[in-house]
Amino acid sequence: MAYSEYIADRIHQILHEKRANFYAKKMMGGLCFMVDDKMCCGIHYDKKKETDLLMARIGELAYEKAIDREGCHPMDFTGRPMKGYVFVTADGFDLDEDLEYWIQLCLDFNPLAKRSKKRK
């Protein structure tokens, strides 16, 4: 099963409302939203847990507070937690205000985030 189009549409709507300079890019078996050409957030379907996960790039400072929120877990896509990234299960972003919270954390961190090196 692929990621949820409904959740992707919700993220798209919030980014559009916040007037972010973004585009969507399929990667890692999900959909990533790039803001100013930097990975910002995305949706990923976890085959083991059979659920959609919100991927949020929030930075290390916000991570310390956010990790205690409902549904928030370290992002361990490769088996090793990635610094400044979290996965959020559906119970942590089901409500619109919760999803907006996570997207805003991502947008707040985005100007500080480094761009990945372009492959040739």
CATH number attached to the domain at 5-110: 3.90.1150.30
What percentage of the chain exceeds 70 in pLDDT? 96
What percentage of the chain exceeds 90 in pLDDT? 78
Spatial neighbors of 118 by CB under 8 A, at least 6 apart, are none
What pLDDT, on the 0 to 100 scale, is given for residue 39? 94
d(C-alpha 27, C-alpha 43), whole Å: 10
Task: Give residue 32's pLDDT band: very low, low, confident or very high (50, 70, 90).
Answer: very high
Task: Say if residue 113's pLDDT is above 80.
Answer: yes
- What is the H or E stretch that residue 13 is in? helix 5-17
Reading phi first (left if > 0) and then psi (alpha if -120 to 50, else beta), residue 36 is in left
Task: Give residue 120's pLDDT band: very low, low, confident or very high (50, 70, 90).
Answer: low
Task: Give residue 119's pLDDT band: very low, low, confident or very high (50, 70, 90).
Answer: low
Task: Say if residue 15's pLDDT is above 90.
Answer: yes
Q: What is the mean pLDDT of the chain?
A: 92
pLDDT digits (tens, 9 = 90+) for 44-99: 988 888 899 999 999 999 999 999 999 999 998 777 888 999 999 999 999 999 99
